[in-house]
A and B are shown apart, each in its own frame.
Chain A
Amino acid sequence: MNVIQVEHIRKRFGNKDALSDVSFSIPKGEIFGFLGPSGAGKTTLIKILTAQINPTSGQASVFDQPAEMMHQSAQKMRFGILTDNSGLYERLTIEENLELYRQLYDLPRSSIDKVLQFVNLSGERKKKVSLLSKGMRQRVMLACAVIHEPELLFLDEPTSALDPVNSAHIYKGLRYLNQNGTTIFLTTHDMAEAELICNRVAILYQGQIQTIGSPKELKKQHRENVVCVELINGETCELPIDEGTADQIAAWMKRGLIDRLETKEPSLGDIFIKMTGSELL
């Protein structure tokens, strides 16, 4: 069953296409990464899928309902969203912020304790939000987005500007949610992040999907057909993967001459550059 289905979506702002003929689907239980540089159209797509804006043409459905229906309270109970411009109430404590969301989602009191444990902030619950670090704020915002244990979670650049420790906290939480059945739609320009947690990724550039697949598949597709060999005398060489190379490597191995042997696998960042001809910004 597909949780998200997008068909030929186009969104035009003025005379510029923010999205152009975008199609893909996300099955239940997947962590799907939408990758691209700033301004590629990632946030626009999240806004379409959460009924904040309408597409110029094409169709999008979420939970088998047209995306425009996502403004209904019953649908909003089913998804959570964390965007780079989500906000918190600065004069309230972490607990008071979560209390608001608990009541809006009509949840039991225990949901606050549970979500605070999940984002590892149980000891900080009485702290005012205005006193929190950026990383802690991001974790509180994640807690607000997932307090109702949504079936689908939209994350727009969830770890942008976070240090590795805080990013690791967020990744751990996302994996936990996913293991418990939450489908995650993640946008990022951080290729390493996508590689680390996504089951499948789509690379978006200038409003169009350039490629789509699992990080493993994409790497395989774009792998250079060579093997790198480093000999014990420090000499390195790149050889084509064929029968002749296999014989050569076997001979070196018999003589104990090989120090390191690896296939040359591109990162998602390399694939992005190869497909778009531009660096990520």
Chain B
Amino acid sequence: MSISLKRAGAIFVKDYKEFSRNYAVSIMLIFPIIFAFLLRGTGPSLVGAFGLVLNISFVILTSFAQACLIAEEKERNTLRSLMMTPATTMDVLIGKSSLVFVMSAVVLAIATYIYGYEPVGIWAFVAAIMFSIILYTAAGTICGLFSKTLLEASLSIIPVSIVFTGAPYAGMLLADDFPIFKVLEYAPNIQLVRLLNISNTASTTGDLLKPLLIILAWAVVLTIVSVVLYQRRLKDE
């Protein structure tokens, strides 16, 4: 499938203009920063709290914004008009996802600075954040595709927050009594927290690589699912 960066760029600029004038969605940009302010008193020793800030930010900013961008286009029939232009599925998805990616990266960088977290393995940390943004953007795309309106999109991220934020934490607490919950150890948010913890102690490349690869695997799988669903949901049969 061909990709035109020029077309993806045009969609990025269009989405930026729309997003910046949509205050109901763009207000989400400030929440990760507020969380970082509120929790920075916990200090760098409480890495788990910072992991929670990151994971909640991925849901309420990354997934939510992407779901809203897709759902609004569906609601107003602009997505179908877009698909009738030379823009390919990948042009549209890359254009839309790039805006969410850039916004999330910038806001999370600011939140990390405010919180005062200093990763030992900076590249591992940056890579984990990037893979996570891709993962949650794909989750947002899927939510948007199954929503008919902006309101539905807002509600559709609740399952994402349950699956990727709440359930793994709860599961880990129950894992001693119910070993089956140990599988939730492989959830991306648990792996992110694990990676944040590792970077605070003496660590080997292997220690860093395992959580990174698990998050990457999640990102790849969800991205493929979102692209396939995008093509199917926009084909009337």
Contacts and interface: CB of A to CB of B under 8 A. Distances in A.
Interface in B86-122: 86-88
Contact of B85 (A53, A76, A88): A76
Interface in B1-59: 2, 4, 6-7, 9-11, 13-14, 17-18, 21-22
Contacts of B9: 103
B77 interface: yes
A83 B80 CA distance: 10
B17 A85 contact: no
27 contacts: A53-B235, A53-B236, A73-B2, A73-B4, A73-B87, A76-B85, A76-B86, A77-B86, A85-B77, A86-B80, A86-B81, A87-B77, A87-B78, A87-B79, A88-B76, A89-B18, A91-B22, A92-B17, A96-B17, A99-B10, A100-B10, A100-B11, A100-B13, A101-B85, A103-B9, A104-B7, A104-B85
B227 to A, nearest CB: 15
B72 to A, nearest CB: 9
A105 B77 contact: no
B237 interface: yes
Which of A47, A76, A88, A103 has the most CB atoms of chain B within a 10 A radius of its CB? A103
B84 interface: yes
A91 B18 contact: yes
A103 B62 CA distance: 26
A104 B87 contact: yes
Interface string A73-84: 110110001010
B21 A91 contact: yes
A144 interface: yes
B7 A103 contact: yes
Contacts of B17: 91-92, 96
B84 A76 contact: yes
A259 interface: no
A100 B9 CA distance: 10
Given A52-B235, A76-B84, A105-B85, A86 B77 contact: yes
How many A residues touch the partner, as a band? 20 to 34
Contacts, number: 72
Which of B9, B13, B14, B84 has the most CB atoms of chain A within a 10 A radius of its CB? B84
Nearest to A74: B86
A74 B4 CA distance: 12
A47 B83 CA distance: 12
Contacts of A73: 2, 4, 86-88
Given A92-B14, A105-B86, 16 more contacts: A73-B86, A76-B84, A76-B86, A81-B84, A85-B80, A87-B78, A87-B79, A89-B78, A90-B76, A91-B21, A100-B14, A104-B7, A104-B10, A104-B85, A106-B6, A144-B81
A50 interface: yes
A95 to B, nearest CB: 11
Which of B14, B18, B88, B235 has the most CB atoms of chain A within a 10 A radius of its CB? B14
A81 B77 CA distance: 13
Contacts of A52: 235-236
B10 A50 contact: no
A198 to B, nearest CB: 23
Interface string A158-201: 00000000000000000000000000000000000000000000
Contacts of B87: 73, 104
B78 A88 contact: yes
A104 B86 contact: yes
Interface in A42-93: 47, 50, 52-54, 73-74, 76-77, 81, 83, 85-92
Contacts of B85: 76, 101, 104-105
Given A76-B86, A86-B81, A92-B18, A103 B76 contact: no
B10 A103 contact: yes
Nearest to A97: B14
Interface string A100-126: 110111100000000000000000000
Contacts of B6: 103, 106
Nearest to B92: A104
A99 B235 CA distance: 26
Contacts of A81: 84
Interface string A11-50: 0000000000000000000000000000000000001001
